[in-house]
Structure 1
Amino acid sequence: MNAASTNPSLAFTRSLQASSLGVKALAVLLGSAFIAAAAQVTVPMYPVPMTMQTFAVLLVGSLYGGRLAAATLAVYLLEGALGLPVFANAGSIATLMVKPLSAGYLIGFFAAATLAGWLADRGAFRTLAGTVGTFAAASMVVYLFGLPWLAAGIGVEKAIAFGLLPFILGDVLKATLAASVRALVGRVSVGRKA
């Protein structure tokens, strides 16, 4: 019995990765649209808003695998760089030029999705501990990029006080939701094949 047959979410990931180029391209576009929509669900905070982007990034990474997750986030960032209103509060590259404090988090989203996908490719989601560890590591990667960038603009103490601490509980809840939706997608995709 292979790993995909005992883990429905892994079966979904492998099925998507084995799909045609057209299906993969559609998945990338839908994934970037999903992340853009999640970016619009915001809680205004200073200096960076709390959004549902982390949830979307973790979910896309965990379901798409490393390569497709990286492609999806690259397309998402490219859309913003081209001026499309895909970032938080309908922002784009123009917004980042005026308010650049959250730019590091966007780079972190790319790295987090790619890491979650790479770990998914290697079966990290087979156990609860693997799921928790993967989502914790991916969430930390967002801060690894976001906090230094933010600290360069407002200082280290303020970056931790305003760019990390208020987000921890929300990140735990978003990771829990991503794990639940990931499991549901796996069950639904296996059920449709039966």
Structure 2
Amino acid sequence: MELTKNLTHAKLFKSLVVIVLGSIALTISAKIKIPFYPVPMTMQTFVVLFLGISLGHKIALATISLYLIEGIAGLPVFSNSPEKGVGLVYFTGPTMGYLIGFLTACYLASKIKIDDNFFVVLFKLIIATSTIYILGLIWLGTLIGWDKPIFALGAKPFLLAEIFKIMLLALLTKQIIKIKKFI
């Protein structure tokens, strides 16, 4: 009985460490900007999908949730914080839909299986990433008005970078899934 209790505590501690480290990785991915035309690219969506694939939906959702809570609480974890604000004010700004989309994307990415072929993985990653943009565009349109060129402002500049990240992840997915055994 005591051994089972200790193993449960050890597993919980391990999960908490992974969640915190995942949140740190997501923060770092938000801060590193890669020069990309016409808009600089961050690796946030890559890390969101990576977390879903490698950690499974429970730990990945907990990781993304921690990241969002940190940002809402005022920690400068988001891509353009503290330069463009922090906390709830920043969160409810133009990027809120995208940030919420991280939750759906990591969940859907967690459904990729090791026996999925490359094209199935690619399709699932496209769907997962699309949820980030769909939620992001819905919120952006609601916030700034539907009379604006929402797609041109909130998705088009990022599509080439997303294709690159999705292709890279699709190529690495089999190896990433193997990480689950060690987590």
Decide: shared fold, TM above 0.5: yes
Q: Provide Cα deviations, 1:70-100, integer angstroms capped at 9, x if missing partner.
A: 1111111011111111100334325516x71
Residues 115 and 25 (structure 1 numbering): CA distance in 2 closer, same or farther, change over 3 Å?
A: same
Deviations 1:127-161 (A, max 9, x none): 10221011101111101210011112333442111
SS in 2 for 1:96: helix
* Unaligned 5+ runs, structure 2: 1-9
1:105 equivalenced with 2:95 (yes/no): no
* CA distance in structure 1 between the partners assigned to 2:114 and 2:179 by the alignment: 20
Give the one of 95, 120, 124 matched to 1:130: 120
AA in 2 matched with 1:27 = V
Q: Secondary structure of the equivalent of 1:22?
A: helix
Deviation at 1:177, TM superposition (A): 2.5
Q: TM-score, normalised by structure 1?
A: 0.74
SS of 2:75 mapped into structure 1: coil
Gaps in structure 1 of 5+ consecutive residues: 1-18
CA RMSD of aligned residues (A): 2.8
Is residue 73–residue 88 contact of structure 2 (8 Å, CA) maintained in 1?
no
> 1 or 2, which has the higher helix percentage?
1
The number of equivalent residue pairs is 167
Q: TM-score, normalised by structure 2?
A: 0.78
CA separation of 1:125/1:179 partners in 2, compared to 1, >3 Å: closer, same or farther?
Answer: farther
Q: Among 151, 156, 161, which residue is 1:165 paired with?
A: 156
Percent identity for Structure 1 against Structure 2 = 34
